[in-house]
Amino acid sequence: MKIVVLEANALGKDIDLTVFEKLGELVLYDQSNAEDTPAKVKDADIIIVNKVPMNEQTLKDALNLKMIAITATGYNIIDKAYTDSRGITVANVGGYSTDSVAQHTFALALYLIDQMDYYDKYVKTGEYIKSDIFCHMGNKIFELAGKTWGIIGMGAIGRKVAEIARVFGCRVIYYSTTGKNHNQDYEAVDLDTLLARSDILSIHAPLNPTTENLMNMENFKKMKSSAILINVARGPIVNEADLVMALKEGIIAGAGLDVISVEPMKEGNPLLEIQDSGKLVVTPHIAWATGEARQRLTDEVYLNIEAFLRGEKRNLIP
């Protein structure tokens, strides 16, 4: 059994992938793309993949291919009609990053709420040395207690964020983009109500025709001018040009993003126009990537393949 890992770098250099040698011959590639993949997978029985499209173009010469193991929850890279026509099993991994993404949600929010960039620079530039009192109250900060935390997408991560927000003393409201996720512990509202009432608004929904470009200028104008937006879901849910304008014009107070429309970021992205990290903080899609989460992901991929080799169905995509 030949197992080909196409994007080892996507799991991190600190994750030991040699564990897959227990299941068969292992071939590791740090990075791959649609052009070089066909040659790399020609003799593969199993492919471990993250972003490379799995379709006829990349797989037509992989005549031995029996399984594709995705190192992610989303499976939009899969041409399901094609893999089904070939009888290729496809498995993904869910739930591995819930704690990690929830934690990063609050890291982004608290960085903005407590104006950490401003106060850190105040001290490190030497301004604090000149102060005649023990503290400096420059940029305004506020408590989460008593504020309203709005959530778009009440799946596993949304529920975890709601749980933490409640511990901080927040009122939690949510909007289900599908109408399928209901939670009696929190108040469900329509989108306009969510936008109008939220002091902090975090996005944990999948990208689909309903959510793409959901956060645009029309909806930013429905938010409080003091509101903070957090997106740790998918970049295209937020219209980046509109967000930049909303921040520049004070329509909303701040935003924290871990995902953007095109990753990695391209030159000319409008987000680069805002260099004030007290207003906008952007991280490079790392919310999911704690060491613990990446290890859980690797362990689950291993179990998916092990189950497949035993003839069992585990985490197969529909």
Catalytic residue at 104?
Answer: no
Q: Point out the catalytic residue in the list 21, 35, 263, 292.
A: 263
Catalytic residue at 136?
Answer: no
Instruction: Look at the chain and count its residues.
Output: 318
Tokens of 258: 């871990």
Catalytic residue at 166?
Answer: no
Q: Point out the catalytic residue in the list 86, 166, 171, 285.
A: 285
Q: Point out the catalytic residue in the list 104, 197, 204, 234.
A: 234
Pairwise CA distance, residues 151 & 243, whole Å: 18
**Could you give the residue numbers annotated as active site?**
234, 263, 285
